[in-house]
Structure 1
Protein backbone atom coordinates (compact mmCIF):
# COMPACT_ATOMS: atom_id res chain seq x y z
CA UNK A 1 0.00 0.00 0.00
CA UNK A 2 2.78 2.42 0.87
CA UNK A 3 5.34 1.21 -1.67
CA UNK A 4 4.99 4.42 -3.67
CA UNK A 5 6.70 6.31 -0.85
CA UNK A 6 10.03 4.63 -1.62
CA UNK A 7 9.76 3.99 -5.35
CA UNK A 8 12.93 4.42 -7.37
CA UNK A 9 13.51 7.52 -9.47
CA UNK A 10 14.97 5.41 -12.31
CA UNK A 11 15.44 1.71 -12.96
CA UNK A 12 18.40 -0.10 -11.41
CA UNK A 13 19.95 -0.51 -14.87
CA UNK A 14 19.66 3.21 -15.56
CA UNK A 15 21.09 4.09 -12.14
CA UNK A 16 24.03 1.78 -12.84
CA UNK A 17 24.69 3.40 -16.22
CA UNK A 18 24.48 6.94 -14.86
CA UNK A 19 26.85 6.04 -12.02
CA UNK A 20 29.22 4.51 -14.57
CA UNK A 21 28.99 7.69 -16.65
CA UNK A 22 29.92 9.86 -13.68
CA UNK A 23 32.82 7.58 -12.82
CA UNK A 24 33.99 7.73 -16.44
CA UNK A 25 33.60 11.52 -16.50
CA UNK A 26 35.59 12.00 -13.30
CA UNK A 27 38.39 9.81 -14.61
CA UNK A 28 38.60 11.50 -18.03
CA UNK A 29 37.23 15.06 -17.85
CA UNK A 30 39.05 16.83 -15.02
CA UNK A 31 37.93 15.56 -11.63
CA UNK A 32 40.08 18.27 -10.00
CA UNK A 33 37.97 20.99 -11.57
CA UNK A 34 34.81 19.04 -10.71
CA UNK A 35 35.58 18.95 -7.01
CA UNK A 36 37.24 22.36 -6.66
CA UNK A 37 35.68 24.84 -9.07
CA UNK A 38 32.58 23.50 -10.81
CA UNK A 39 29.52 25.47 -9.69
CA UNK A 40 25.94 24.35 -9.95
CA UNK A 41 24.92 26.87 -12.61
CA UNK A 42 21.52 28.33 -11.75
CA UNK A 43 18.97 30.25 -13.83
CA UNK A 44 19.55 33.45 -11.88
CA UNK A 45 21.05 36.88 -12.43
CA UNK A 46 24.05 35.82 -10.36
CA UNK A 47 25.11 33.50 -13.18
CA UNK A 48 23.74 35.47 -16.12
CA UNK A 49 23.73 39.10 -14.98
CA UNK A 50 23.97 40.85 -18.34
CA UNK A 51 20.98 42.01 -20.37
CA UNK A 52 21.37 42.02 -24.13
CA UNK A 53 18.74 43.34 -26.51
CA UNK A 54 19.48 41.52 -29.77
CA UNK A 55 18.88 37.82 -30.36
CA UNK A 56 22.38 37.18 -31.69
CA UNK A 57 23.93 39.28 -28.93
CA UNK A 58 22.09 37.32 -26.25
CA UNK A 59 23.07 34.00 -27.84
CA UNK A 60 26.73 35.09 -27.95
CA UNK A 61 26.61 36.23 -24.33
CA UNK A 62 24.97 33.03 -23.04
CA UNK A 63 27.42 30.90 -25.01
CA UNK A 64 30.34 32.80 -23.50
CA UNK A 65 28.96 32.15 -20.03
CA UNK A 66 28.45 28.44 -20.80
CA UNK A 67 31.98 27.80 -22.04
CA UNK A 68 33.33 29.90 -19.17
CA UNK A 69 31.53 27.87 -16.50
CA UNK A 70 32.55 24.71 -18.33
CA UNK A 71 36.23 25.71 -18.27
CA UNK A 72 36.48 25.62 -22.07
CA UNK A 73 36.72 29.32 -22.83
CA UNK A 74 40.21 28.84 -24.26
CA UNK A 75 39.01 26.52 -27.03
CA UNK A 76 38.66 27.98 -30.55
CA UNK A 77 34.86 28.34 -30.60
CA UNK A 78 32.83 30.27 -33.13
CA UNK A 79 29.11 30.68 -32.61
CA UNK A 80 27.29 31.50 -35.83
CA UNK A 81 23.62 32.12 -36.72
CA UNK A 82 21.74 29.15 -38.20
CA UNK A 83 21.96 30.66 -41.69
CA UNK A 84 25.76 30.43 -41.55
CA UNK A 85 26.03 27.01 -39.97
CA UNK A 86 26.84 23.89 -41.97
CA UNK A 87 26.67 20.62 -40.05
CA UNK A 88 29.92 18.70 -40.48
CA UNK A 89 32.31 16.58 -38.50
CA UNK A 90 34.45 18.93 -36.40
CA UNK A 91 38.23 18.76 -36.81
CA UNK A 92 40.34 17.04 -34.18
CA UNK A 93 42.49 19.80 -32.70
CA UNK A 94 44.53 17.89 -30.16
CA UNK A 95 42.61 19.57 -27.33
CA UNK A 96 42.83 17.94 -23.92
CA UNK A 97 39.42 17.72 -22.20
CA UNK A 98 41.05 15.97 -19.23
CA UNK A 99 42.26 19.40 -18.08
CA UNK A 100 39.89 22.35 -18.35
CA UNK A 101 40.73 25.98 -17.68
CA UNK A 102 42.64 28.94 -19.11
CA UNK A 103 46.10 27.91 -18.01
CA UNK A 104 46.11 24.36 -19.31
CA UNK A 105 44.57 24.62 -22.78
CA UNK A 106 46.78 23.61 -25.66
CA UNK A 107 45.72 23.65 -29.30
CA UNK A 108 47.56 21.66 -31.93
CA UNK A 109 47.31 22.33 -35.67
CA UNK A 110 44.81 19.87 -37.16
CA UNK A 111 45.75 17.68 -40.10
CA UNK A 112 43.03 19.35 -42.17
CA UNK A 113 40.12 21.72 -41.78
CA UNK A 114 39.73 25.12 -40.08
CA UNK A 115 41.18 25.75 -36.65
CA UNK A 116 37.81 26.35 -35.02
CA UNK A 117 34.84 24.59 -33.50
CA UNK A 118 31.55 25.80 -34.93
CA UNK A 119 28.37 26.03 -32.89
CA UNK A 120 24.99 27.51 -33.69
CA UNK A 121 21.78 28.28 -31.82
CA UNK A 122 18.02 28.32 -32.26
CA UNK A 123 16.80 31.95 -32.22
CA UNK A 124 13.44 30.93 -30.71
CA UNK A 125 15.26 29.55 -27.65
CA UNK A 126 16.46 33.01 -26.68
CA UNK A 127 12.96 33.49 -25.25
CA UNK A 128 13.48 30.32 -23.15
CA UNK A 129 16.91 30.86 -21.55
CA UNK A 130 17.02 27.55 -19.68
CA UNK A 131 16.46 25.62 -22.91
CA UNK A 132 19.16 27.73 -24.57
CA UNK A 133 21.70 27.13 -21.79
CA UNK A 134 20.99 23.40 -21.69
CA UNK A 135 21.21 23.09 -25.48
CA UNK A 136 24.52 24.93 -25.56
CA UNK A 137 25.86 22.93 -22.63
CA UNK A 138 24.94 19.71 -24.39
CA UNK A 139 26.54 20.92 -27.63
CA UNK A 140 29.76 21.91 -25.88
CA UNK A 141 29.82 18.52 -24.12
CA UNK A 142 29.48 16.76 -27.48
CA UNK A 143 32.53 18.64 -28.75
CA UNK A 144 34.40 17.77 -25.56
CA UNK A 145 33.58 14.09 -25.96
CA UNK A 146 34.50 14.15 -29.66
CA UNK A 147 37.87 15.79 -28.98
CA UNK A 148 38.62 13.14 -26.36
CA UNK A 149 37.98 10.32 -28.88
CA UNK A 150 36.80 8.18 -25.96
CA UNK A 151 34.07 5.56 -26.16
CA UNK A 152 31.31 6.43 -23.68
CA UNK A 153 29.84 3.82 -21.34
CA UNK A 154 27.57 1.58 -23.37
CA UNK A 155 29.32 2.28 -26.66
CA UNK A 156 29.20 4.95 -29.37
CA UNK A 157 25.42 4.54 -29.73
CA UNK A 158 25.22 6.33 -26.36
CA UNK A 159 27.25 9.31 -27.54
CA UNK A 160 24.44 11.88 -27.21
CA UNK A 161 23.21 10.51 -23.89
CA UNK A 162 26.73 10.46 -22.43
CA UNK A 163 27.29 14.01 -23.67
CA UNK A 164 24.16 15.11 -21.83
CA UNK A 165 25.52 13.53 -18.65
CA UNK A 166 28.74 15.46 -19.28
CA UNK A 167 26.72 18.67 -19.50
CA UNK A 168 25.33 17.87 -16.04
CA UNK A 169 28.85 16.99 -14.85
CA UNK A 170 29.97 20.47 -15.98
CA UNK A 171 27.31 22.07 -13.79
CA UNK A 172 24.33 22.62 -16.09
CA UNK A 173 22.07 19.99 -14.52
CA UNK A 174 19.33 22.33 -13.29
CA UNK A 175 18.70 23.70 -16.78
CA UNK A 176 19.11 20.24 -18.32
CA UNK A 177 16.41 18.83 -16.01
CA UNK A 178 14.08 21.82 -16.28
CA UNK A 179 14.17 21.75 -20.09
CA UNK A 180 13.99 17.99 -20.65
CA UNK A 181 10.24 18.14 -21.18
CA UNK A 182 8.02 20.98 -22.36
CA UNK A 183 4.28 20.81 -21.78
CA UNK A 184 2.30 21.74 -24.86
CA UNK A 185 -0.38 23.52 -22.87
CA UNK A 186 -3.98 24.00 -23.90
CA UNK A 187 -3.38 26.75 -26.43
CA UNK A 188 -1.75 25.66 -29.68
CA UNK A 189 -0.91 29.25 -30.56
CA UNK A 190 1.25 29.53 -27.43
CA UNK A 191 3.25 26.38 -28.17
CA UNK A 192 6.47 26.86 -30.12
CA UNK A 193 8.32 23.58 -30.72
CA UNK A 194 11.34 25.42 -32.13
CA UNK A 195 11.93 26.99 -28.71
CA UNK A 196 12.11 23.66 -26.91
CA UNK A 197 15.24 21.68 -26.30
CA UNK A 198 15.66 18.22 -27.82
CA UNK A 199 16.78 16.10 -24.86
CA UNK A 200 18.79 12.89 -25.25
CA UNK A 201 17.92 11.60 -21.76
CA UNK A 202 14.47 11.20 -20.31
CA UNK A 203 13.28 13.74 -17.78
CA UNK A 204 13.70 11.27 -14.89
CA UNK A 205 17.24 10.45 -16.07
CA UNK A 206 18.10 14.17 -16.20
CA UNK A 207 16.77 14.66 -12.67
CA UNK A 208 18.74 11.65 -11.40
CA UNK A 209 21.94 12.93 -13.06
CA UNK A 210 21.37 16.34 -11.46
CA UNK A 211 20.86 14.70 -8.06
CA UNK A 212 24.04 12.66 -8.53
CA UNK A 213 26.05 15.81 -9.31
CA UNK A 214 24.63 17.59 -6.26
CA UNK A 215 25.06 14.59 -3.97
CA UNK A 216 28.75 14.30 -4.91
CA UNK A 217 29.16 18.07 -4.46
CA UNK A 218 27.44 17.92 -1.04
CA UNK A 219 24.73 20.34 -2.19
CA UNK A 220 21.61 20.11 -0.04
CA UNK A 221 18.57 18.77 -1.85
CA UNK A 222 16.32 21.50 -0.45
CA UNK A 223 18.54 24.16 -2.00
CA UNK A 224 18.43 22.41 -5.39
CA UNK A 225 14.66 21.98 -5.14
CA UNK A 226 14.22 25.76 -5.08
CA UNK A 227 15.49 25.92 -8.67
CA UNK A 228 13.76 22.98 -10.38
CA UNK A 229 10.21 22.89 -11.69
CA UNK A 230 7.69 22.31 -8.94
CA UNK A 231 6.52 18.93 -10.21
CA UNK A 232 10.16 17.68 -10.34
CA UNK A 233 10.74 18.13 -6.60
CA UNK A 234 9.40 14.67 -5.60
CA UNK A 235 11.51 13.03 -8.30
CA UNK A 236 14.58 14.89 -7.03
CA UNK A 237 13.90 13.65 -3.50
CA UNK A 238 13.49 10.06 -4.75
CA UNK A 239 16.73 10.36 -6.72
CA UNK A 240 18.69 11.46 -3.63
CA UNK A 241 17.32 8.50 -1.69
CA UNK A 242 18.14 6.07 -4.50
CA UNK A 243 21.68 7.43 -4.76
CA UNK A 244 22.19 6.93 -1.03
CA UNK A 245 21.30 3.25 -1.45
CA UNK A 246 23.17 2.64 -4.71
CA UNK A 247 26.16 0.28 -4.32
CA UNK A 248 28.37 2.41 -6.57
CA UNK A 249 27.93 5.66 -4.65
CA UNK A 250 30.84 5.10 -2.26
CA UNK A 251 33.17 4.55 -5.24
CA UNK A 252 31.98 7.83 -6.79
CA UNK A 253 32.44 9.67 -3.50
CA UNK A 254 35.99 8.34 -3.29
CA UNK A 255 36.72 9.63 -6.80
CA UNK A 256 35.23 13.04 -5.99
CA UNK A 257 36.86 13.38 -2.56
Structure 2
Protein backbone atom coordinates (compact mmCIF):
# COMPACT_ATOMS: atom_id res chain seq x y z
CA UNK A 1 0.00 0.00 0.00
CA UNK A 2 1.27 3.47 -0.94
CA UNK A 3 -0.17 5.96 1.53
CA UNK A 4 0.87 9.30 2.98
CA UNK A 5 -0.18 12.90 3.37
CA UNK A 6 0.48 16.45 2.28
CA UNK A 7 3.77 17.48 3.92
CA UNK A 8 5.41 20.84 4.54
CA UNK A 9 8.44 22.17 2.63
CA UNK A 10 9.19 24.73 5.36
CA UNK A 11 12.94 25.39 5.60
CA UNK A 12 13.80 23.89 2.21
CA UNK A 13 11.96 21.72 -0.27
CA UNK A 14 13.95 18.58 0.61
CA UNK A 15 12.54 18.78 4.17
CA UNK A 16 9.32 17.44 2.64
CA UNK A 17 10.97 14.03 2.29
CA UNK A 18 12.12 14.15 5.94
CA UNK A 19 8.58 15.00 7.02
CA UNK A 20 7.16 12.16 4.93
CA UNK A 21 9.61 9.62 6.36
CA UNK A 22 8.90 10.83 9.91
CA UNK A 23 5.20 10.16 9.36
CA UNK A 24 5.95 6.67 7.94
CA UNK A 25 4.58 7.67 4.54
CA UNK A 26 5.05 5.63 1.38
CA UNK A 27 3.47 8.47 -0.66
CA UNK A 28 3.28 12.24 -0.23
CA UNK A 29 2.15 15.54 -1.73
CA UNK A 30 3.75 19.00 -1.56
CA UNK A 31 3.38 22.59 -2.68
CA UNK A 32 6.60 23.50 -4.50
CA UNK A 33 6.15 27.16 -3.40
CA UNK A 34 4.13 29.36 -1.06
CA UNK A 35 0.56 28.34 -2.04
CA UNK A 36 -0.92 31.72 -1.14
CA UNK A 37 1.22 33.92 -3.40
CA UNK A 38 1.65 34.57 -7.12
CA UNK A 39 5.44 34.62 -7.12
CA UNK A 40 8.02 31.95 -6.31
CA UNK A 41 11.79 31.95 -6.34
CA UNK A 42 13.41 29.54 -8.77
CA UNK A 43 14.50 26.14 -7.49
CA UNK A 44 18.26 26.09 -7.02
CA UNK A 45 20.50 23.24 -8.17
CA UNK A 46 21.05 22.47 -4.49
CA UNK A 47 17.28 22.29 -3.84
CA UNK A 48 16.82 19.87 -6.72
CA UNK A 49 19.80 17.68 -5.86
CA UNK A 50 18.90 17.42 -2.16
CA UNK A 51 15.25 16.62 -2.87
CA UNK A 52 16.07 13.89 -5.39
CA UNK A 53 18.81 12.42 -3.19
CA UNK A 54 16.59 12.22 -0.11
CA UNK A 55 13.69 10.79 -2.11
CA UNK A 56 15.91 8.08 -3.56
CA UNK A 57 17.35 7.10 -0.16
CA UNK A 58 13.87 7.14 1.43
CA UNK A 59 12.70 4.24 -0.76
CA UNK A 60 9.43 6.09 -1.43
CA UNK A 61 8.41 5.38 -5.01
CA UNK A 62 8.54 8.70 -6.90
CA UNK A 63 5.37 7.65 -8.74
CA UNK A 64 3.62 7.88 -5.36
CA UNK A 65 4.52 11.59 -5.10
CA UNK A 66 2.70 14.61 -6.42
CA UNK A 67 2.62 18.38 -6.16
CA UNK A 68 -0.46 20.56 -5.83
CA UNK A 69 -1.12 23.86 -7.58
CA UNK A 70 -1.21 26.99 -5.41
CA UNK A 71 -4.56 28.46 -4.36
CA UNK A 72 -4.71 31.75 -6.30
CA UNK A 73 -4.72 30.61 -9.97
CA UNK A 74 -8.17 30.25 -11.56
CA UNK A 75 -8.12 28.52 -14.93
CA UNK A 76 -11.83 29.14 -15.56
CA UNK A 77 -11.80 32.88 -14.86
CA UNK A 78 -13.25 35.30 -17.44
CA UNK A 79 -10.67 37.93 -16.41
CA UNK A 80 -8.00 38.05 -19.14
CA UNK A 81 -5.07 39.05 -16.90
CA UNK A 82 -6.08 36.54 -14.24
CA UNK A 83 -6.37 33.76 -16.82
CA UNK A 84 -2.95 34.53 -18.31
CA UNK A 85 -1.32 34.63 -14.86
CA UNK A 86 -3.01 31.34 -13.94
CA UNK A 87 -1.80 29.56 -17.07
CA UNK A 88 1.71 30.94 -16.54
CA UNK A 89 1.81 29.52 -13.01
CA UNK A 90 0.44 26.18 -14.19
CA UNK A 91 3.19 25.91 -16.82
CA UNK A 92 5.80 26.98 -14.26
CA UNK A 93 4.56 24.37 -11.78
CA UNK A 94 4.76 21.65 -14.44
CA UNK A 95 8.37 22.68 -15.09
CA UNK A 96 9.21 22.73 -11.36
CA UNK A 97 7.78 19.21 -10.98
CA UNK A 98 9.94 18.07 -13.92
CA UNK A 99 13.04 19.53 -12.25
CA UNK A 100 12.26 17.67 -9.01
CA UNK A 101 11.30 14.40 -10.70
CA UNK A 102 7.71 14.60 -9.41
CA UNK A 103 5.45 12.88 -11.97
CA UNK A 104 2.07 14.41 -11.08
CA UNK A 105 0.69 17.92 -10.58
CA UNK A 106 -2.82 18.17 -9.11
CA UNK A 107 -4.89 21.19 -10.13
CA UNK A 108 -8.24 22.60 -9.09
CA UNK A 109 -10.50 23.39 -12.04
CA UNK A 110 -11.50 26.89 -11.05
CA UNK A 111 -14.57 29.12 -11.00
CA UNK A 112 -16.35 30.72 -13.95
CA UNK A 113 -17.33 33.60 -11.61
CA UNK A 114 -20.92 33.58 -12.78
CA UNK A 115 -20.27 33.66 -16.52
CA UNK A 116 -21.63 30.14 -17.03
CA UNK A 117 -20.24 26.62 -17.10
CA UNK A 118 -19.81 26.46 -20.87
CA UNK A 119 -17.55 29.52 -21.09
CA UNK A 120 -15.68 28.53 -17.92
CA UNK A 121 -14.95 25.07 -19.29
CA UNK A 122 -13.82 26.54 -22.60
CA UNK A 123 -11.22 28.69 -20.80
CA UNK A 124 -10.20 25.80 -18.55
CA UNK A 125 -9.57 23.49 -21.49
CA UNK A 126 -7.62 26.24 -23.28
CA UNK A 127 -5.37 26.79 -20.27
CA UNK A 128 -4.79 23.11 -19.59
CA UNK A 129 -4.03 22.48 -23.27
CA UNK A 130 -1.35 25.19 -23.25
CA UNK A 131 0.27 23.60 -20.19
CA UNK A 132 0.07 20.20 -21.84
CA UNK A 133 2.41 21.43 -24.58
CA UNK A 134 5.39 21.47 -22.18
CA UNK A 135 8.15 19.07 -23.21
CA UNK A 136 8.46 16.84 -20.13
CA UNK A 137 6.85 13.77 -18.58
CA UNK A 138 4.81 15.53 -15.88
CA UNK A 139 1.11 14.62 -15.91
CA UNK A 140 -1.48 17.23 -14.90
CA UNK A 141 -4.23 15.71 -12.73
CA UNK A 142 -7.72 17.25 -12.72
CA UNK A 143 -9.24 17.16 -9.23
CA UNK A 144 -13.01 16.73 -8.85
CA UNK A 145 -14.59 19.65 -7.01
CA UNK A 146 -17.04 19.95 -4.10
CA UNK A 147 -19.71 21.65 -6.20
CA UNK A 148 -19.36 25.15 -4.76
CA UNK A 149 -21.18 27.99 -6.54
CA UNK A 150 -19.71 28.76 -10.00
CA UNK A 151 -17.26 25.82 -9.89
CA UNK A 152 -16.93 23.19 -12.59
CA UNK A 153 -15.98 19.50 -12.44
CA UNK A 154 -17.94 18.19 -9.45
CA UNK A 155 -20.20 16.06 -11.64
CA UNK A 156 -18.42 13.00 -13.07
CA UNK A 157 -20.11 13.37 -16.45
CA UNK A 158 -18.92 16.98 -16.73
CA UNK A 159 -15.46 16.05 -15.44
CA UNK A 160 -15.26 13.38 -18.13
CA UNK A 161 -16.35 15.85 -20.81
CA UNK A 162 -13.57 18.24 -19.73
CA UNK A 163 -10.98 15.48 -19.52
CA UNK A 164 -11.82 14.03 -22.94
CA UNK A 165 -11.19 17.38 -24.64
CA UNK A 166 -7.56 17.45 -23.49
CA UNK A 167 -4.64 16.61 -25.74
CA UNK A 168 -2.14 15.03 -25.71
CA UNK A 169 -3.84 12.41 -23.55
CA UNK A 170 -0.54 11.22 -22.00
CA UNK A 171 -0.19 14.62 -20.30
CA UNK A 172 -3.45 14.41 -18.33
CA UNK A 173 -4.98 12.26 -15.62
CA UNK A 174 -7.37 12.62 -12.69
CA UNK A 175 -7.15 12.97 -8.90
CA UNK A 176 -10.23 11.77 -6.97
CA UNK A 177 -10.99 13.56 -3.69
CA UNK A 178 -13.36 11.58 -1.46
CA UNK A 179 -14.56 14.60 0.55
CA UNK A 180 -15.28 16.58 -2.61
CA UNK A 181 -17.20 13.70 -4.19
CA UNK A 182 -19.29 13.12 -1.05
CA UNK A 183 -20.31 16.75 -0.51
CA UNK A 184 -21.02 17.03 -4.27
CA UNK A 185 -23.68 14.33 -3.82
CA UNK A 186 -21.93 10.98 -4.36
CA UNK A 187 -22.74 8.64 -1.46
CA UNK A 188 -19.62 6.94 -0.08
CA UNK A 189 -20.92 5.72 3.29
CA UNK A 190 -21.07 1.98 2.57
CA UNK A 191 -19.13 -0.56 0.53
CA UNK A 192 -22.08 -0.86 -1.87
CA UNK A 193 -22.32 2.93 -2.37
CA UNK A 194 -18.55 3.23 -2.85
CA UNK A 195 -18.72 0.60 -5.60
CA UNK A 196 -21.64 2.38 -7.27
CA UNK A 197 -19.81 5.72 -7.13
CA UNK A 198 -16.62 4.37 -8.66
CA UNK A 199 -18.62 2.49 -11.31
CA UNK A 200 -20.13 5.84 -12.33
CA UNK A 201 -16.69 7.47 -12.21
CA UNK A 202 -15.36 4.71 -14.47
CA UNK A 203 -18.25 5.18 -16.91
CA UNK A 204 -17.60 8.89 -17.48
CA UNK A 205 -13.93 9.45 -16.58
CA UNK A 206 -12.23 6.04 -16.49
CA UNK A 207 -10.54 4.34 -13.53
CA UNK A 208 -7.48 3.89 -15.76
CA UNK A 209 -7.04 7.68 -15.69
CA UNK A 210 -7.11 7.87 -11.87
CA UNK A 211 -3.52 8.38 -10.68
CA UNK A 212 -3.84 9.80 -7.14
CA UNK A 213 -6.61 9.46 -4.54
CA UNK A 214 -7.09 12.20 -1.93
CA UNK A 215 -8.49 10.37 1.09
CA UNK A 216 -10.43 12.80 3.27
CA UNK A 217 -13.54 12.47 5.39
CA UNK A 218 -16.04 15.34 5.19
CA UNK A 219 -17.03 17.89 7.83
CA UNK A 220 -20.39 18.30 6.08
CA UNK A 221 -23.23 16.04 5.02
CA UNK A 222 -23.94 14.34 1.69
CA UNK A 223 -24.55 16.89 -1.06
CA UNK A 224 -23.89 20.00 1.08
CA UNK A 225 -21.09 21.35 -1.20
CA UNK A 226 -19.01 22.30 1.87
CA UNK A 227 -15.31 21.83 1.09
CA UNK A 228 -14.15 21.05 4.63
CA UNK A 229 -11.96 17.98 5.10
CA UNK A 230 -12.17 15.99 8.33
CA UNK A 231 -10.46 13.16 10.21
CA UNK A 232 -10.85 9.69 8.69
CA UNK A 233 -13.92 7.90 10.01
CA UNK A 234 -15.15 10.84 12.10
CA UNK A 235 -16.98 12.79 9.39
CA UNK A 236 -19.97 12.37 7.11
CA UNK A 237 -18.45 9.45 5.18
CA UNK A 238 -17.57 7.42 8.30
CA UNK A 239 -15.49 4.32 8.94
CA UNK A 240 -17.32 1.88 6.63
CA UNK A 241 -17.06 4.21 3.67
CA UNK A 242 -13.45 5.23 4.25
CA UNK A 243 -12.49 1.55 4.65
CA UNK A 244 -14.13 0.69 1.30
CA UNK A 245 -12.37 3.62 -0.43
CA UNK A 246 -8.98 2.54 0.95
CA UNK A 247 -9.54 -1.02 -0.25
CA UNK A 248 -10.60 0.23 -3.69
CA UNK A 249 -7.41 2.31 -4.01
CA UNK A 250 -5.26 -0.61 -2.87
CA UNK A 251 -6.90 -3.03 -5.30
CA UNK A 252 -6.19 -0.63 -8.17
CA UNK A 253 -2.70 0.29 -6.89
CA UNK A 254 -3.57 3.99 -6.66
CA UNK A 255 -1.42 6.00 -4.20
CA UNK A 256 -3.42 7.51 -1.32
CA UNK A 257 -2.76 11.05 -0.07
CA UNK A 258 -4.42 12.44 3.08
CA UNK A 259 -5.24 16.15 3.39
CA UNK A 260 -6.83 15.91 6.82
CA UNK A 261 -6.72 18.63 9.52
CA UNK A 262 -4.31 18.83 12.43
CA UNK A 263 -6.03 19.63 15.72
CA UNK A 264 -6.65 18.33 19.25
CA UNK A 265 -8.59 15.33 17.93
CA UNK A 266 -5.93 13.95 15.60
CA UNK A 267 -2.80 14.84 13.61
CA UNK A 268 -1.11 13.46 10.47
CA UNK A 269 0.40 10.58 12.41
CA UNK A 270 -2.99 9.57 13.82
CA UNK A 271 -4.82 9.80 10.50
CA UNK A 272 -2.17 7.78 8.66
CA UNK A 273 -2.29 5.10 11.38
CA UNK A 274 -6.07 5.05 11.08
CA UNK A 275 -5.93 4.67 7.29
CA UNK A 276 -3.56 1.72 7.67
CA UNK A 277 -5.96 0.15 10.20
CA UNK A 278 -8.82 0.52 7.71
CA UNK A 279 -6.68 -1.18 5.04
Fold agreement, TM-score > 0.5: no
**TM-score with structure 2 setting the length:** 0.29
Relative contact order, higher structure (CA 8 A, sep 6+) = 1
Whichever structure has more helix as a proportion of its residues is 1
Whichever structure has more strand as a proportion of its residues is 2
